[in-house]
Amino acid sequence: MSEKRPNVIWIFGDQHRAQALGSAGDPNIFTPNLDRLADDGLNITGAVCNTPLCSPARGTLLTGRHPHHAVDRHQGQLPPEMPTVAHAFRDAGYKTGYIGKWHVDGFQEGGKRASDHIIPPERRGGFDHWVGYENNNSQWDSWVHGGEGDDAFHERLPGFETDALTDLFIQHLEDRAKSGEPFFAALSVQPPHDPYLAPEEFMARHTPGQVELRENVPSIDCVEERARREIAGYCAAVENLDWNVGRIREKLDELGIADETHIIFFSDHGDMLGSHGQFRKTSPYEESVRVPLIIGGAVPRYELRGGRSSAPVSLVDLAPTSLGLCGIEVPEGMDGKDWSGMRRFGEDPDGPEAALISLHVPTGHGDSIDRPWRGIVTRDGWKYAVLDGQPWLMFNLNEDPYEQVNLALNPGHADERRRLQKLLLKEMEAVGDHFHLPVL
């Protein structure tokens, strides 16, 4: 690798499931910029979130720690004293920036909108430059804040959220390019999170009647109708995000830093959108826990490897892997693994065997799972999930990618269930998770 230290960019939407990409075979969607990033880079098709819920997922990706060590619930607060990926980059001499949705400050919905909640500087994760908001489910009425003291501001974004945040991010890239210093910068946008909206030019491309449903959406009128309606808007929002990824890549080229900048695209979790008759997130099903994870960019300057990998990478690995791409030692305290060798040297490390997935504290919301669970997704293509003291779900994803045959309570697969539970216990013990497993 060249002596010049590379930059790292994170780009992520909210509730963007892995299946919703042209490169993943979704017939409803056109994502040329993300598909090109995947084709030219490393497309980790085995990636999952550790907890399919906004605040725990975001706490995990920021800290490299599992939810019970960082943020374990919806509207939970990231401990202000906890080191983040920004601290690790700053200690290595990088400038750091974060723009967009935060959702780890513990704001409890009450008498005011979450977008009106001002996050104090000491709770902004140690980023040098921070412009964001706690939460917002109104993409045409999005407010951001930042700065401190006399320089503090709180202002309404013009137009659609993803477009406006990308404008701010591009300005930040211009500022960083002028400085010549290496940087780590994150762009976090709310769409395609419900209410499934996008600018009209994108909405006009999709109508409910044209939507092709996944095989695991049951033929029940009320489910199909809702799924078609929501997927149409969802696809429009994803395509708008894809267009903005294209804008960012064009700007990197224009600034002359594309060859020295890693681009990591991912999501905090997925969205059921009618699969198995369910909507939103918090379940262990593929549409909820499987996320896109593409590591691209920086190819001409650095000798990097591409292709596809089914390795069980998860969001807890994102911070260590980002640091590893820059040759920065992963600090103590991070639970995740550095998988950067797959991109830097073409290696596919031998372990771990599985990624740990979980829901620690149910939200109580409609369209969610109302009890805690733990599970694993394995390197060899199995998924196993349990409730408190009770087996729940077990799928052979190699033969049953739509998870239509639950083997968890099938005596004919008792040996496989015991193997998977031992592996689940191993992963839990490694990170100090003491959830009550079934007696088999």
Which CATH number belongs to the domain containing residue 316 in this structure?
3.40.720.10
3-state secondary structure 164-221: HHHHHHHHHHHHHHHHCCCEEEEEECCCCCCCCCCCHHHHCCCCHHHCCCCCCCCCCH
Classify 201 as helix, strand or coil.
helix
Given 324, 352, 380, the domain boundary residue is 352
- Per-residue pLDDT at 1: 40
pLDDT in tens, the chain (440 residues): 446 899 999 999 999 999 999 999 999 999 999 999 999 999 999 999 999 999 999 999 999 999 999 999 999 999 999 999 999 999 999 999 999 999 999 988 766 888 889 999 999 999 999 999 999 989 999 999 999 999 999 999 999 999 999 999 999 999 999 999 999 999 999 999 999 999 999 999 999 999 999 999 999 999 999 999 999 999 999 999 999 999 999 999 999 999 999 999 999 999 999 999 999 999 999 999 999 999 999 876 666 777 888 999 999 999 999 999 999 999 999 999 999 988 888 776 666 899 999 999 999 888 999 999 999 999 999 999 999 999 999 999 999 999 999 999 999 999 999 999 999 999 999 999 999 999 98
Q: Is residue 360 part of a domain?
A: no
Q: Under DSSP, is residue 369 helix (H, G, I), strand (E, B) or coil?
A: coil
Determine, yes or no, domain membership for 440: no
Task: Tell me if 13 is assigned to some domain.
Answer: yes
Are 322 and 406 in a shared domain? no
Instruction: Identify the domain containing residue 422 by its residue range.
Output: 371-430
What is the CATH number for 385?
3.30.1120.10
Q: Which of 317, 352, 387 is the last residue of a domain?
A: 352
The whole-angstrom separation of Cα 325 and Cα 262 is 8
Which residue, 24, 12, 59, is CA-closest to 265? 12
Q: How many domains does the chain have?
A: 2
Same domain, 174 and 91: yes
Instruction: Tell whether 342 and 394 lie within a shared domain.
Output: no
How many CB atoms are located within 10 Å of the residue 220 CB? 12
- Same-domain status, 266 and 211: yes
Q: Give the residue from 247, 105, 103 showing the smallest Cα distance to 169.
A: 247
Same domain, 103 and 135: yes
- Quick check: is 357 in a domain? no
Q: Are residues 103 and 251 in the same domain?
A: yes
Do 95 and 144 fall into the same domain? yes
Q: Are residues 408 and 315 in the same domain?
A: no
On whether residue 437 sits in a domain, the answer given is no
What's residue 303's pLDDT?
A: 65
Residue 335 placed within a domain: yes
pTM exceeding the 0.75 threshold for the entire prediction: yes
Residues 305 and 381 in one domain: no
Within this chain, do residues 190 and 307 fall inside the same structural domain, yes or no?
A: yes
- What integer pLDDT is reported at residue 369 of this predicted model? 93
Q: Is residue 33 part of a domain?
A: yes
Q: Within this chain, do residues 344 and 389 fall inside the same structural domain, yes or no? A: no
365 in a structural domain: no
Tally of CB atoms within 10 A around 207: 11
Q: Would you say 435 and 372 are in contact if contact means Cβ atoms under 8 Å apart? A: yes
The residues, ordered by sequence, that sit 6+ positions from 114 with a Cβ below 8 Å of its Cβ are 107, 133, 134, 135, 136
The token duo for 95 is: 């400038």
Same domain, 348 and 382: no
